[in-house]
Structure 1
Amino acid sequence: MKFNFRMPTRIFFGQHCVTEHSGDMAVLGKRALIVTGGSSSKKNGSLDDVISALNKEGISYEIFDQVEQNPSLNTVYQGGGQARKLQADFIIGIGGGSPLDAAKAVAILAVNDITPEELMAKNWVKDPLPVVAVPTTAGTGSEVTPYAVLTVDWAETKLTITGEKLFPVVSYLDGRYMLGLPWQVTVNTAVDALSHSIEGYLTKRATVITDLLALESIGTIGRLLRTMDPQHITISQREELLYGSLLAGMVIAQTTTTFVHGLGYPLTYYKGLPHGLANGILLKSSLAFIARAVPERVQRVIEALGCGDLQEVGELLQRVLTPVQLKLTAEELAFYAAKAMRSKNLANCFQPPSAEDLQWILADSGLV
């Protein structure tokens, strides 16, 4: 019973929460840079709601809408330059994990003239600008984490910036923004959130508090994956997915992730698999490996998912995820495993995997 828990983000959850609680942005300043993608925030209504809230509070703004999937260093430096020119008081991220993570990096670069190497090494002097997060997918949990994940070409993978001041100061969660998401995006992001809560539960950094959050998240997302109709996802189900993702974000904000994320990153960087899908195809075999060290905790995960055994877990994931027609060579297996072995998070595992273990997980996941 020895632990710490830090969650400095003010959370507003519910329909129309952005406009109803706009006053929490007014105290952050008079100029905001909105960081988002090219089109989704315009289509789902989130951008209009944020602009209405800013107008209501007399806050001027500019929009940086160049964020791509898996944002690059070049993109966040462009955003940082616009924020400096605007002399922004705070940054608003609207979108999935990519815009939210990019917004955090832009918040750093708005006040720090540093190189990409210094950015990734957390060698900045001034605290980042405050960040407001408006998620429009239910997956990354970035609205409640101190992490920003960026694509770094010199490392040929995705790398994470971590900092206490990267927790968003305010997050607005409205399930309406997800009503138009296609099934594939809905499931991939949901499985990303599921991976967060499972990895956070199966780590030595787990606590009694994170266990409560993780099991609630796993149970909620698992039930929805079993019961959602791909052709008709209700607003209530969207809100539950968002709730499950929020809890999962709270979990990894305390525990970080494990080798599942580290092993999934090469599949995204080199093979272009969506992040949640990459994690999802690895989950069942990863659970089988972790069960060698902590079978009782893996069993609780299986039960929380509403499944009878690991085979049923695998069948559930196969049923909801898009089939992956991907076969890795022996050289790729070894290379991807070696890259994942560099992750600091492996030390958090109850039984840290070897490179051979990671190759086995890739192969057992049907990638050979």
Structure 2
Amino acid sequence: MSESPRTTIQGSLGSSPTLQSVFYGPGCVSNALPKLIKSFGVKKALVVTGNTLRTKTDVVKKVETILEQHDAHGATFSGIGEHAPIAGILKAVDQLKELRADFLVSVGGGSPIDAAKAIAYRFKDTPESGGKILPHFGIPTTLSAAEYTSGAGYTGEDGHKIAVISPEIGLSGIILDAELTLPTPERLWLSTGMRAMDHAVETMYRPNIAHPVKFLGYGAIADLFKYLPLSKANPENVEYRQRLLIAAWMSLWPIRFHENSPIGISHLLGHKLGATYSIPHGMTSCLTLAAVVKLQSELASPEDKKYLADILFHLGVPSTGSVDGDILLLSDLLDKLVVQLGLKTTLEAYKVPREDLPKIAERALGSKEVPAFSKVVGLLETIYA
């Protein structure tokens, strides 16, 4: 807990027709989860999580205990692996049918949260569902921000990423309790913070994003630059962790209403690198984001360049005197942050074959014929070794 309770971020907020409530604050899970159970009138939960979180920490047990106190814990499925392989999702659907649970609680990072969305989506098509999507309450322990989208990414049998996008599978409630993030490994915590940074920065040049939403992105970027290093230096500080959970929320939550908007090059590359080469999503952002921002000094529209350049103002960093110079400085600052967090790495370190780089660029962009193809191949070369 924070030494000064007056400064602790806490509260709740109603939201869209799918996402009814976001509760936030250290220790809030003990009150928030019962409120969600009562509000939705649900009786029996299937908890969806990963094996490490369940067996190596007390986080899942805390959630199970709260559910048990309200006679609402049906079972826990902890067979969700990194990048949410389809095999685990199918097993969870089978367990859900046997259990006859009426809501889902996902606990963990992007993989269990996305997996639970995919489970709900697939369960809807079974006779046991009654044709309804089950309510889904998410309790994130990383900064990946998967809980704010109405899309689910998981890994097919061929090892490639599969995406399901439907307004129906957006979460019903979210609980941001910084105390539950304390056991999260440092590298996972900080790298998913860079994933949140990726969301916020790419908001500046993602099409069809409203001007006010970009300013939420500026707030997220400023807090991520400030609190990620502080959290690394003070890993037990719950106040910093709560600030980061809120920053991750600001980085992505509003964009859940723009799922059909094209995503940025850093995300496109991350999707193609992640499951195929076993690179955690947070680490793909550490690899690609700074290089992609540098490339935007060549590719972005004048309007989008200005949005990117204005990030320096929100960081309190003086302008270089030119928009392109400011973008290059931002790229350098992002790269230095990755180094400061101890997350600097290369594609070679993840054993990505150098000869695959053109194929990765083609898969990310959809074609070799797009104007940016050769530049993206060149970008991948710069982060290879």
Shorter-chain TM-score: what band?
0.7 to 0.9
List aligned pairs for 1:82-121, cutoff 5 A: 82-113=95-126
Please tell me whether residue 81 in structure 1 is matched to residue 94 in structure 2. Answer: yes
SS in 2 for 1:11: strand
Match of 2:36 among 19, 24, 30: 24
Match of 1:267 among 270, 273, 285: 273
Q: Which residue of 2 aligns with 1:331?
A: 355
Cα distance in 2 between the residues matched to 1:8 and 1:185: 28
Query: What letter is aligned with 1:317?
Result: V
Cα distance, 1:31 vs structure 2: 1.6
Please tell me whether residue 130 in structure 1 is matched to residue 141 in structure 2. Answer: no
Cα distance in 1 between the residues matched to 2:231 and 2:268: 29
Q: Which residue of 2 aligns with 1:363?
A: 381
Match of 1:314 among 308, 328, 335: 335
Query: What letter is aligned with 2:153?
Result: V
Cα distance in 2 between the residues matched to 1:264 and 1:35: 24
Alpha-carbon spacing, 1:54–1:329, altered in 2? closer, same or farther (3 Å):
closer
Query: What letter is aligned with 1:331?
Result: E
Alpha-carbon spacing, 1:8–1:270, altered in 2? closer, same or farther (3 Å):
closer
Query: What letter is aligned with 2:384?
Result: L
Percent identity for Structure 1 against Structure 2: 22
Cα distance, 1:57 vs structure 2: 2.4
The C-alpha deviation readout for 1:132-163, integer Å capped at 9, x for no partner, is 111111x2212222121101243x43232111
Asked if structure 1 preserves the Cα contact closer than 8 Å seen for 2:150 and 2:167, the reply is: yes
Q: Which residue of 1 aligns with 2:310?
A: 300
Alpha-carbon spacing, 1:49–1:281, altered in 2? closer, same or farther (3 Å):
same
Alpha-carbon spacing, 1:325–1:337, altered in 2? closer, same or farther (3 Å):
closer
SS in 2 for 1:70: coil
Cα distance in 2 between the residues matched to 1:197 and 1:251: 11
The C-alpha deviation readout for 1:238-264, integer Å capped at 9, x for no partner, is 111111111223043134532211112
Alpha-carbon spacing, 1:145–1:332, altered in 2? closer, same or farther (3 Å):
same
- State which drifts further: 175-184 or 96-105: 175-184
Match of 2:174 among 156, 171, 174: 171
Alpha-carbon spacing, 1:255–1:363, altered in 2? closer, same or farther (3 Å):
farther
Asked if structure 2 preserves the Cα contact closer than 8 Å seen for 1:147 and 1:162, the reply is: yes
- State which drifts further: 84-93 or 270-279: 270-279
Q: Which residue of 2 aligns with 1:57?
A: 70
Cα distance, 1:226 vs structure 2: 4.1
Cα distance in 2 between the residues matched to 1:342 and 1:160: 15
The C-alpha deviation readout for 1:284-327, integer Å capped at 9, x for no partner, is 11112223323212212344455561323322222324332433
Cα distance in 1 between the residues matched to 2:354 and 2:73: 55
The C-alpha deviation readout for 1:66-94, integer Å capped at 9, x for no partner, is 11111111110110111011111111111
Cα distance in 1 between the residues matched to 2:202 and 2:257: 12
Please tell me whether residue 247 in structure 1 is matched to residue 250 in structure 2. Answer: yes
Cα distance, 1:330 vs structure 2: 5.2
Query: What letter is aligned with 1:277?
Result: M
Asked if structure 2 preserves the Cα contact closer than 8 Å seen for 1:200 and 1:255, the reply is: no
Cα distance, 1:42 vs structure 2: 5.2
SS in 1 for 2:203: helix
Query: What letter is aligned with 2:265?
Result: F
Asked if structure 2 preserves the Cα contact closer than 8 Å seen for 1:19 and 1:53, the reply is: yes
SS in 2 for 1:291: helix
Alpha-carbon spacing, 1:151–1:301, altered in 2? closer, same or farther (3 Å):
farther
The C-alpha deviation readout for 1:21-65, integer Å capped at 9, x for no partner, is 313213342121111111314554432332232223232411111
Asked if structure 1 preserves the Cα contact closer than 8 Å seen for 2:287 and 2:344, the reply is: no
Q: Which residue of 2 aligns with 1:205?
A: 208
- State which drifts further: 284-293 or 94-103: 284-293
SS in 1 for 2:96: helix
Cα distance in 2 between the residues matched to 1:135 and 1:142: 8
Asked if structure 1 preserves the Cα contact closer than 8 Å seen for 2:287 and 2:347, the reply is: no
Cα distance in 2 between the residues matched to 1:90 and 1:353: 46
Q: Which residue of 1 aligns with 2:366?
A: 342
Query: What letter is aligned with 1:297?
Result: Y
Alpha-carbon spacing, 1:141–1:326, altered in 2? closer, same or farther (3 Å):
closer
Cα distance, 1:17 vs structure 2: 1.9
Please tell me whether residue 286 in structure 1 is matched to residue 292 in structure 2. Answer: yes
Give the structure-2-normalised TM-score: 0.82
Cα distance in 1 between the residues matched to 2:313 and 2:52: 39
Report how many residues are paired. 344
Cα distance in 2 between the residues matched to 1:218 and 1:65: 33
For structure 1, the residue ranges without an aligned partner over 5 or more in a row are 115-123, 344-351
- State which drifts further: 10-19 or 294-303: 294-303
Cα distance in 2 between the residues matched to 1:318 and 1:93: 32
Cα distance, 1:203 vs structure 2: 1.0
SS in 2 for 1:201: coil
List aligned pairs for 1:3-18, cutoff 5 A: 6=16, 8-9=18-19, 10-18=21-29
List aligned pairs for 1:143-154, cutoff 5 A: 143-154=147-158
